[in-house]
Chain A
């Protein structure tokens, strides 16, 4: 191995090994390409502002040409920023050091001399592949106004506007959706191009020699053909001969067809892709939530639970695979993502951190089979998350438990229990359940003793419950690890204890504020 190869391989290894280099690279990569990175949003907004100001300066320049700060800003500062961005993108698009080292290792493994040229060619090819992509070319052209001395380069400001595509997700989505109709669009363009070609040649042949006709050159003919086929029809260039008008009629008829075809392609592309677009948007929304309940399956129970949780100010995300049910859920204004809760793929696609973001997973599907399956799917991710499940058939309880459900709610059992209470102490339990269900203004609620409250409150009497129209039922004491009913005034209160009180909603709200003052 010669000296140059040695140096290159060594430095490639050094770069690979450097933690700082890797961190910087990852940061730049996140900033430019990772939609979930918090800074990217601001970076995108900043770039968009630059582009818009650039366009503004161009417009101003048309009539008031001056060489002041704005012009300098436009020509140099923005261009340099774009240049830096372009270089960074080129840098992170492929990992040169890795390409070189892997080539080196491969050659060594096969007992071949290291082929530097091949490694460099591979690295360059990776860069070239990126540089020749449409978005990279637009980026490069957007830097061009840098050479402001050349008047034509001013035109490249337009490419800065194209650059906007990069920073707005909606635009990217738009391009992506049209991309799904590549074949149809290609057909359309071929069809329209063919008609334009034939029409402009024909009109040229028919009219160019006629002194009364405004069609003189092939460019005039093409201009007329485009204006006509698009059904715009300015009327500044019109055929005057009989043959020319025949051509015009044919072009007008086919123009309607082209337009209809084009519209239908775009519309169908959007209607077909409406669901993915919507899903994407909802997924983004879910990702941005700090804490939420994930409900798997949309059933009548889901609706009731979700609306109650929402009323309590909690966020809820519903996963449902059945399209009809998704529609139904949407009509009830729920955040529902059309995806199979029993597939691991769904959670990958969601890109949420189940451990941190999801307060609990609720399996509220109508069938026990689905619930068991989903519970297993979630448990297979090996994330410590609480799973609560509905049970419909008593004999499946053990299966559900085995699949990893922490809490199991069996409606029949609850109802059975309720009816027993009604038969014994009907009024007592009705009072209790009225409080529980929250149908009245009076509710039973838990108040968590947080670090702020604990500074002032040491004992039950510090809670100052008396004379407030609040009934203190008891305390869940962390220290004693049990519920203390009707604690005495000198009972010790600690952080994270929970106080159970009965009071009117508004009174409770105010009490909450007083406690935190």
Chain B
């Protein structure tokens, strides 16, 4: 089995759009749907699709390398989606689950149910609308960053054991960032917590091995920077 797979539950409007935007990634993409009609539709669109039952014991999923696999729960019915998230989390404590919700309320429930990341539809849409209206420049910047075609990117760099900046404070290496024309956005200290330490505030953060550095910059320059500091992209 492929080690790095992507599983999408459901094949509604949202799931369809997710599947098609993930189509050209190198990962193996599998769709699991509840209704036979959805399975057919997914197969018709060219995806590997299977039917599942919510009361399943999920033995089928054990064939995946669950440490590397990401699961997206995008069932149309929110209650079913929450149930699915809970059952998956219960069965596979390690797997990374991304779940879709419409409202903020359901997003909170999904987080409680054990989703690693919840995308709240209403929230995301309204954020976009407001950005369009009030922050058009940021909106454009974001689109550029997301678009794989443009050179400006946001990339995460994992610091390795022997990186020479380990032990430095974030504020100390300002000059290094400037030299390479990259802007540090945030640091995630996976040891402490998964929350972000934004560079605007946490300049006193001391860099540890396995910290993840999130930077914005041109692709080439980021790669050069990563190489210089001994980080892994």
User: Which interface residue of A362, A414, A421, A441 has the most chain B CB atoms within 10 A?
Assistant: A414
B21 within 8 A of A: yes
B133 touching A390 by the CB < 8 A rule? no
Set of chain A residues within 8 Å of B72, measured between Cβ atoms: 419
Number of interface residues of A (CB under 8 A): 66
Which residues of chain B (82-124) have a CB below 8 Å from chain A? 98, 100, 102-104, 117, 119, 121-124
Known: A413-B17, A424-B25, A426-B117. 18 other contacts (CB 8 A): A300-B122, A309-B133, A312-B134, A364-B129, A390-B129, A411-B14, A414-B124, A423-B6, A423-B27, A432-B145, A436-B131, A445-B138, A446-B135, A470-B200, A471-B184, A473-B216, A486-B181, A498-B137
A12 within 8 A of B: no
A483 touching B144 by the CB < 8 A rule? yes
Q: A residues within 8 Å of B by Cβ?
A: 293, 300-301, 304-305, 308-309, 312, 314, 359-360, 362, 364, 388, 390, 407, 409, 411-432, 434-438, 440-442, 444-446, 469-474, 476, 483, 485-486, 498, 500, 502-504, 507
A308 touching B126 by the CB < 8 A rule? yes
CA distance A407 to B139 in the complex (A): 13
Q: In angstroms, how far is the closest chain A Cβ from the Cβ of B214?
A: 5
Set of chain A residues within 8 Å of B52, measured between Cβ atoms: none
Q: In angstroms, how far is the closest chain A Cβ from the Cβ of B37?
A: 18
Q: In angstroms, how far is the closest chain A Cβ from the Cβ of B182?
A: 8
User: Which interface residue of B135, B138, B182 has the most chain A CB atoms within 10 A?
Assistant: B138
Q: A432-B142, A432-B185, A471-B183 are in contact. Are A419 and B18 (CB under 8 A)?
A: yes
User: Which interface residue of A418, A427, A434 has the most chain B CB atoms within 10 A?
Assistant: A427
User: Pick the contact of B132 from A409, A412, A442, A471 — CB < 8 Å?
Assistant: A409
CA distance A485 to B150 in the complex (A): 13
CA distance A360 to B216 in the complex (A): 32
The residue in chain A whose Cβ has the minimal distance to the Cβ of B125 is A411
CA distance A423 to B142 in the complex (A): 17
A504 touching B200 by the CB < 8 A rule? yes
B231 within 8 A of A: no
CA distance A434 to B154 in the complex (A): 14
User: Pick the contact of A415 from B119, B130, B136, B201 — CB < 8 Å?
Assistant: B119
Q: In angstroms, how far is the closest chain A Cβ from the Cβ of B194?
A: 9
Number of interface residues of B (CB under 8 A): 66
User: Which interface residue of A412, A424, A440 has the most chain B CB atoms within 10 A?
Assistant: A412
User: Pick the contact of A418 from B104, B119, B122, B199 — CB < 8 Å?
Assistant: B119
User: Pick the contact of B138 from A304, A444, A469 — CB < 8 Å?
Assistant: A444
A412 touching B16 by the CB < 8 A rule? yes
Set of chain A residues within 8 Å of B70, measured between Cβ atoms: 422-423
CA distance A441 to B195 in the complex (A): 13
B17 touching A412 by the CB < 8 A rule? yes
Set of chain A residues within 8 Å of B218, measured between Cβ atoms: 485
CA distance A215 to B141 in the complex (A): 92
CA distance A49 to B117 in the complex (A): 64
Set of chain A residues within 8 Å of B136, measured between Cβ atoms: 446
The residue in chain A whose Cβ has the minimal distance to the Cβ of B4 is A423
Q: In angstroms, how far is the closest chain A Cβ from the Cβ of B3?
A: 14
B200 touching A469 by the CB < 8 A rule? yes
A476 touching B156 by the CB < 8 A rule? no
User: Pick the contact of A305 from B129, B145, B146, B154 — CB < 8 Å?
Assistant: B129
CA distance A412 to B20 in the complex (A): 11
User: Pick the contact of B154 from A416, A429, A472 — CB < 8 Å?
Assistant: A429
CA distance A419 to B199 in the complex (A): 25
Set of chain A residues within 8 Å of B138, measured between Cβ atoms: 436, 444-446, 500
Which residues of chain B (152-203) have a CB below 8 Å from chain A? 152, 154-156, 181-186, 188, 196, 198-201, 203
The residue in chain A whose Cβ has the minimal distance to the Cβ of B19 is A416
Name 9 interchain pairs, CB-CB below 8 A, sorted by A: A301-B129, A312-B134, A415-B100, A419-B18, A420-B21, A424-B25, A476-B137, A486-B181, A502-B198
CA distance A469 to B128 in the complex (A): 26
User: Pick the contact of A428 from B128, B140, B155, B203 — CB < 8 Å?
Assistant: B155
The residue in chain B whose Cβ has the minimal distance to the Cβ of A406 is B132
Q: A419-B98, A425-B155 are in contact. Are A304 and B146 (CB under 8 A)?
A: no
CA distance A483 to B218 in the complex (A): 13
Q: In angstroms, how far is the closest chain A Cβ from the Cβ of B92?
A: 18
A301 touching B122 by the CB < 8 A rule? yes
A309 touching B201 by the CB < 8 A rule? no
Q: A419-B18, A420-B22, A485-B218 are in contact. Are A504 and B201 (CB under 8 A)?
A: yes
Q: A300-B122, A483-B144 are in contact. Are A414 and B128 (CB under 8 A)?
A: yes
Q: In angstroms, how far is the closest chain B Cβ from the Cβ of A314?
A: 8
User: Pick the contact of B214 from A411, A428, A444, A469 — CB < 8 Å?
Assistant: A428
CA distance A398 to B199 in the complex (A): 42
The residue in chain B whose Cβ has the minimal distance to the Cβ of A304 is B126
CA distance A274 to B174 in the complex (A): 63
A440 touching B198 by the CB < 8 A rule? yes
User: Pick the contact of B126 from A305, A423, A473 — CB < 8 Å?
Assistant: A305
User: Pick the contact of A440 from B21, B102, B119, B196 — CB < 8 Å?
Assistant: B196
Set of chain B residues within 8 Å of A413, measured between Cβ atoms: 17
The residue in chain A whose Cβ has the minimal distance to the Cβ of B158 is A427
A419 touching B21 by the CB < 8 A rule? yes
A309 touching B127 by the CB < 8 A rule? no
Set of chain B residues within 8 Å of A498, measured between Cβ atoms: 137
CA distance A442 to B195 in the complex (A): 13
